[in-house]
Every structure is written in C-alpha cells, then in structure tokens.
Amino acid sequence: MSNIEKDVHDKLKEYENFLKEEMRNNVKKFLVHFSSQFDVEGCNAGSNITAWVDRYLHTLEEKREEFLLQTNGDINEKTIYAAIQNQKYYMRHTSVLENLEIRKYYPFFVTKNLVLEGASFILMRYLAITQFAGTIELSTMYINGEMCRNIYECIGPKPGEVNGKKIDVCKIYRYVIEECGIEHNSVTVLTTYGRIITQEWEGCNYILNMNPLQYVGEEEPPSYDRLVMSKIWMDDMQLMSKYLDCKTTAEREMKTYMADHPEIKELIADFVQNVLLLKPENILLFTKDYFQNLYPCQTPRIPYCENDRGKSNEDVEY
C-alpha cells in the first residue's frame, strides 16, 4: 500500500470512528404517552403509560399504572416502574389495595428480548410500515413485574375501509402469556403508514378507535398535523384580531413595567458586563445561577423565627 493510499485509508477510518461516536452520542429516542379511561361493571377504570424508548426498542424508562375506582370509594391501583441501570433492569411494582411493594433486578441476559408496553406500540407501527407478515416472539413484563412471553402474529396488508376510504390495513394479533399460563390477547389494526385504527383486548371493556372525522388516504400523512395550522392561522380574521389584541396588551404592560422599575436596566447592564468579563462556557447555566443568587433569602419555618406577638410562622423575606 502506497503512502497516499495509506493516508486516505487512515482518514476514512478516522471519519468512520467520528460518525460512530456521533451516532452514539445522538441516538434518537421516542417519548411514548398513552392514557385511557373506561367502564368496568359500572366502575371508572383506566390506564396510563409513559415511556422513554431508544431507536433499538430499548426501554430506558417506563411507568405504567392501572386503576379501578370501586363502588365503596376505594381505589385499586397497580403500578410498575422499570428502568435500565448499570448492567441490569430495575423494576418496582406497587399495589395500593394490597399495600404491596416489590423490587426486582433482571440481568441483561434475561431481558435481551424485552419489549415493554411503550416500545410495543412503536414495534407494531414499524411492523405495519414495513408490511411484515409472520410471527415474532419476544418477552415483556406484566403489571406485577413478572416476565412473560410476548408473541406478535402479523397479517400482511389487506384491503379495508377506514372512515369511508378504501385503503390497505395491517392486523396484528398479540399474545401475552404469563408464567402461570394465563393468556392475554389483543388485536391492533393499523394503516400501512403506522396510524392506529383500532385496538381491542379480549375479555376487557376497552376498545380504542380512530377519530371518525380523521382523514385517512393512500398518501403518506404529514410529519406534524399542527404545521397546517401554523401556515393558515393568519388568514383567519378572528384569530388574527385576537393575536393583535394580545400583542398590544403585552407590549403596553411591558413598557409600563419597565417605566415603573428603572432598576431593571441597571440589572441587565450588570448581567451583560459579567457575561463579557467571565465568558462562561454554558451561558444558560450561568444565567440561571446569576439570577437565582439575586432571589431573596427565605428562613425556614422553625419556632425561633416566631415573634412574641403571636403572628404565624410564615416564611420571612430579607
């Protein structure tokens, strides 16, 4: 290998290592939030899921809760919190009615195929987008913290009708099997672009349906529906008038406040002078610390702060 080829090879290797490091430091993550309420034999019930998942479907952190408001007023609430720690998964399960709290640790060789509930929604959307047909078996964690079998049976795209539009849909059957043998089944129908049309759990009065007014077509949906509003709101005379009124009011209040408090200009000038003099690397952290140090000190609510006149021991500002 000549010197020129060696130099090119070394530069390419260096660039490759640079890209790998950048990808490692900027791994895309998903924030999944799911909330539902339904009726169980006349009682209010529901579930909530909040999860932080990376692009490899590793659940970095997840909190899931299920609650049932009983007729006597008691709340039967169960929660599970799971998070990745050093070389293991940490799990905490609580049950209000049973006054129970369980903590467990699972090593990575046990959880190598683990897909929790938040990651499961992302996985099903991916299977629909790729139009996967077949069966996948992974593992998941039940609300009590026990590991379960987690099977996805995917039927490829089939003709269907959604909100009056004929489009292809993907149906995914999911089977969650506990160690004791109890099986929980669900079916989820999605568009080929990953939009959830309906979801239903067997033996549960819970059915998720798409908004009947939602437009569904063959073309790929926009990345963010709210972008449409940001482009056309100024054409709405009522919204534009409201915006101008709020803007005028805010400007008037700001000018009045600045006129009534001339010391603010001196405060800002002092802050800018400190920034130019100290040249902090993290300007946001410096600004936060700078103005927090100007906040009035508060004494704690302890007996020796009370006076002899019987006044309440509220926080005293200096």
Q: pLDDT tens-digit profile of 127-174?
A: 999 999 999 999 999 988 899 999 999 988 999 888 778 888 999 999
Helix (H) or strand (E) holding 81: strand 75-85
Buried b (16+ CB within 10 A) or exposed e, 54-67: eeebbbbebbbbbb
Q: pLDDT at position 132, please?
A: 93
pLDDT per residue as tens digits for the range 199-257: 888 877 667 777 776 667 666 665 544 455 565 667 778 878 888 899 999 999 999 98
Average pLDDT over residues 17-46: 74
Please give the Cα distance from 221 to 170 (Å, whole number). Answer: 17
Q: Which tens digits make up the pLDDT trace of 78-100?
A: 999 999 887 789 999 999 888 88
| Angle of the 263-278 helix axis to the 283-292 helix axis, nearest 10 | 140
Tokens at residue 309, please? Answer: 């006149």
- Closest alpha carbon to 149 in 158, 138, 133, 157: 138
The residue extents of the domains of the chain are: 29-221, 222-256, 261-318
Percentage above 90 pLDDT, the chain? 31
Burial of 313 (0-12, 13-18, 19+ CB in 10 A): middle
* SS3 state of residue 127: helix
- The structure's pTM equals 0.60
Average pLDDT, the chain: 81
- The Cα-based distances of 187 to 41, 174, 199, 201 in angstroms read 22, 6, 6, 7
Q: Burial of 317 by CB count in 10 Å (0-12 exposed, 13-18 middle, 19+ buried)?
A: exposed
* 103 conformational bin, left if phi > 0, alpha if psi -120 to 50, beta if neither: beta
Give the integer Cα–Cα distance in Å for 80 and 94. 7
